[in-house]
Amino acid sequence: MASKKIAAGIDIGGTNTVFGFVDRDGNILAEDKIKTGQYDEIEVYVAALYEKMMIARQKITEDVEIIGFGIGAPMGNINKGTIEYPANLPWKGIIPVADVFKKHTDLPVVVTNDANAAAVGEMIYGGAKGMKNFVVITLGTGLGSGFVVNGKLLYGHDGFAGELGHTSIRPGSSNRDCDCGKKGCLETYVSATGLKRTLLKVMADSTKPSDLRKYSFNELDAELIHQAAKKGDHLAKRAFERTGKILGFKLADVVAHTNPEAIFLFGGLALAKELIFEPAKKAMEENLLHIYRGKVKLLPSQLSTQNAAVLGASSLIWSLRES
Amino acid sequence: MASKKIAAGIDIGGTNTVFGFVDRDGNILAEDKIKTGQYDEIEVYVAALYEKMMIARQKITEDVEIIGFGIGAPMGNINKGTIEYPANLPWKGIIPVADVFKKHTDLPVVVTNDANAAAVGEMIYGGAKGMKNFVVITLGTGLGSGFVVNGKLLYGHDGFAGELGHTSIRPGSSNRDCDCGKKGCLETYVSATGLKRTLLKVMADSTKPSDLRKYSFNELDAELIHQAAKKGDHLAKRAFERTGKILGFKLADVVAHTNPEAIFLFGGLALAKELIFEPAKKAMEENLLHIYRGKVKLLPSQLSTQNAAVLGASSLIWSLRES
């Protein structure tokens, strides 16, 4: 019998690098991690990672064949196989991570950012199976996005298409600072952090009582606000409504640019379900040109939050073979 | 010697349908037109158009071979070969123009909207030769856009990608009505009509003298405002600045979506050169995430305004063969 083909998925985060070996159905056959921050040099880091991956691979009892290495990383550039000026990784400047990896293997190595990996993961294993034109929005600390067009990842001229988190919600007049140095970026409103900032604004403007008034900004998080909203807390519900409304407003722009079949929401905020989906869907429809109305699905991601990063990274390899 | 290959380009407008036969270098070897409004039935219209095209073809003295028919039309749907609910054409509903055309020919018939045709025209004959990722913005009475991604037209799931004219410039608060039924659409600010509306706003707010104060709204047009601005008219210059600023703001969004190599401006407003390019470029750069800054070219279209519609439509056929 032929060996079972598996793709390696690697998620490089500031704290941990998590990896797994994944079959075509999205089953993770082995997984492990290393501490990203312990390696000042990319060569030493990749050597240690590769070694640990080979150890994990030995633990798979089935007869398997690795067909490639997919890497998801902040500022990952799919055109060049590089990570470019990442804010939270130990290495600086433009890091040729694919080239360093290729010293250890002749198999394909694909690098992209987390949101692009999530989009391909949705197409290979998740809710976008069979779709050719869709968008995945990842809602975490920030807001990421990955676009699939004609069945392929849209990466653009410099490899950086799909940075919706840093589009602006209006010209000039927003007060909300973004870590990127601009003001009024979408992710300052629509993300776990954005929700928290909006709650504070709502709390400042309203005199209504709320359990959330006893928490400091540092103590608050999206989950606390979610739980409060579920219990009917007025301010928490209001914060979700505003967040969803701004999201929907910008989703209408996404539709006018790329006319997708569906938009998937992934990550913490998406788990709040109708609290975010209802206002987002309503605002999206209101802002759509008539030719698009009622046609674009707004859906929750079908990838589990826990494994999505590794699944997404591994999916890059299947996508390479199947496109 | 082999026949010279030529592509037919047809531009369906509310008043006239203009067509031409175009060689691969963009030379128009023959052209003519018919009155669109004279034909209540699409079958009769296409039969008359086809007949007139065959007459024009006979006038070409070279030995030529027609390789296909490219059609640009408002609300043209490239997926289906239809024109869908056009506002200014004699036919209603969903018009299967490609199918009707195919009763007369076995050659390829491609339908898309004017802005998409302009984008492909720019790639085949104009300033985007060799580019794989770029955007063309057409600035006329309204604002259209065509996106090329990986060397191919981006048409999306329903065939209607690239309707930037109907993205909104801010959530909720714009007063400016759009013909589409929404408020605050980009084309209500950035288009020949948008410029005129902005001039009136500037004129209302300012006490500065201006030659333009003697013209009614109906008398004003983009060319008058352009000429006034060139002579130093304060209000006219201000109107261009505001128009360019809003355009640049939304171009930064375009970059964050699709990361193009270049954005081309086509049409009347683009002819105002630095009056529109300077504020647009400045606002675009200010609103770009750092990874894109200084990288995206903002360029004037290299297609002549006069022939662009026929060239664009014909280019669809070359693009079909070369992709």
Mutation target for B interface from A258, A286, A288, A299: give the one with most B CBs within 10 A: A258
Is residue B26 within 8 Å of residue B125, measured between CB atoms?
yes
Q: Are residues A209 and A178 in the same domain?
A: yes
Low-confidence winner among A174-183, B61-70, B108-117 (lowest mean pLDDT): A174-183
- Other CB atoms within a 10 A radius of the CB of residue A209 amount to 10
Work out the average pLDDT over B33-44: 95
Are residues A286 and A165 part of one domain?
A: yes
Using CB atoms, pick whichever of B149, B253, B292 lies closest to residue A149. Answer: B149
- On whether both A239 and A100 belong to a single domain, the answer is no
Does the pLDDT value for residue B1 go beyond 70? no
The Cα of B15 is separated from the nearest Cα of chain A by a number of Å equal to 24
What one-letter code names the amino acid at A121?
G
Helix (H, G, I), strand (E, B) or coil at B25: coil
High-pLDDT (> 90) share of chain A, %: 86
Which CATH number belongs to the domain containing residue B142 in this structure?
A: 3.30.420.40
ipTM, two decimals, is 0.90
Distance in Å, alpha carbon of B167 to nearest chain A alpha carbon: 5
Residues A118 and A245 in one domain: no
Q: Which residues contact A139 (CB under 8 A, 6 or more apart)?
A: A190, A191, A192, A265, A266, A267, A268, A269, A270, A276
Put simply, the answer to whether B161 touches A246 (Cβ < 8 Å) is no
Kindly state the tokens that stand for A269: 């905020």
Q: d(Cα A104, Cα A52) in Å, to the nearest integer?
A: 13
B74: CB partners within 8 A, 6+ apart:
B12, B13, B14, B83, B86, B87, B88, B89, B113, B114
Average pLDDT, chain A: 94
Select the residue from A143, A158, A242 to test the B interface by mutation, using most B Cβ atoms within 10 A: A158
DSSP state of A297: E
pLDDT above 80: residue A172: no
Q: Which residues of chain B neighbour A248 with C-beta distances below 8 Å?
A: none
Q: Please classify residue A130 by burial: count the beta carbons closer than 10 Å to its beta carbon, then call 0-12 exposed, 13-18 middle and 19+ buried.
A: exposed
Q: In whole angstroms, what is the distance from residue B84 CA to residue B91 CA?
A: 10
- Dihedral sign computed on CA atoms, order A88, A90, A93, A94: negative
Predicted local distance difference test score (pLDDT) of residue A307: 87
Q: What is the DSSP letter of B300?
A: E
**Residue type present at position B38:** Q
Residues B184 and B280 both lie in one domain: yes
Q: How many domains in chain B?
A: 2
B306-318: average pLDDT: 93
The alpha-carbon radius of gyration of chain B (Å, integer) is 20
Helix (H) or strand (E) holding A89, with range, is none
Residue B234 and residue B205 in contact, taking contact as beta carbons nearer than 8 Å: no
A96 and A190 both lie in a single domain: no
* Residue A86 in this model has a pLDDT that exceeds 90: no
Average pLDDT, chain B: 94
Q: Looking at residue B252, what is its pLDDT?
A: 97
Contacts of residue A115, Cβ cutoff 8 Å, sequence gap at least 6: A136, A137, A138, A144, A145, A146, A162
The residue range of the domain holding B92 is 4-126+306-322
Q: Are residues A147 and A176 in the same domain?
A: yes
At A173, the pLDDT band (50, 70, 90 cuts) reads low
Mutate to test the interface with A, among B132, B242, B243, B253 (most CBs of A within 10 A): B253
Query: What are the DSSP calls for B85-124, one per residue?
Result: S-SSSS--SEE-HHHHHTTT-SS-EEEE-HHHHHHHHHHH
8 A C-beta contact, residue A67 and residue A317: yes
Find the mean pLDDT for residues A56-78: 94
Distance (Å) from the alpha carbon of A118 to chain B's nearest alpha carbon: 16
**Is the domain of A96 the same as that of A227?**
no
Same domain, B225 and B153: yes
- Residue B87, pLDDT > 90, answer no
Residue of A155, A171, A291 lying closest to B160 (CB–CB): A291
Which residues of chain B make contact with A289, given a CB cutoff of 8 A? 163, 166, 180, 182
The alpha carbon dihedral of A179, A181, A187, A189 has a sign of positive
Q: Are residues A275 and A140 in the same domain?
A: yes
Rounded distance between C-alpha atoms, residue A152 and residue A119, angstroms: 10
For strand A76-77 and strand A82-84, is the pairing parallel, antiparallel, or unpaired? antiparallel
Q: What is the pLDDT of residue B268?
A: 87
Which residues are paired to B88 by β-bridges? none
Section A278-303 average pLDDT: 96
- Tell me which chain B residue has its CA closest to the CA of residue A253: B167
* Cα–Cα distance, A170 to A173 (Å, whole number): 7
* Cβ–Cβ gap A252/B168 under 8 Å: yes
Of residues A163, A170, A259, nearest to B256 (C-beta):
A163
Closest residue on chain A to B247 (Cα): A171
For residue B263, give how far its alpha carbon lies from the nearest alpha carbon of chain A (Å): 12
What average pLDDT does range A302-308 have in this prediction?
Answer: 86
Helix locations, chain B, DSSP H? 42-58, 97-101, 114-124, 192-205, 222-230, 234-258, 274-287, 308-322
Share of chain B above pLDDT 70, in %: 99
Taking the C-alpha atoms of residue A22 and residue A24, their distance in angstroms, rounded to an integer, is 7
Dihedral over Cα of A131, A132, A134, A136: its sign? positive
Note the pLDDT tens digit of each residue in A241-279.
999 999 999 999 999 999 999 999 999 899 999 999 999
pLDDT digits (tens, 9 = 90+) for A107-160: 999 999 989 999 999 999 999 999 999 999 999 889 999 999 999 999 999 988
Residues of chain B with C-beta less than 8 angstroms from the C-beta of A180: 289-290
B167 with B312, same domain? no
Tokens of A90: 């130990």
Asked if B246's CB is within 8 angstroms of A168's CB, the reply is no
- My answer on whether B145 and B280 are in the same domain is yes
Q: What is the pLDDT of residue B320?
A: 87
Reading the block at residue A107, the tokens are 């198999």
Separation of alpha carbons A46 and A49, rounded Å: 5
Partner-chain contact B289 A163, CB within 8 Å: yes
pTM (2 decimals)? 0.92
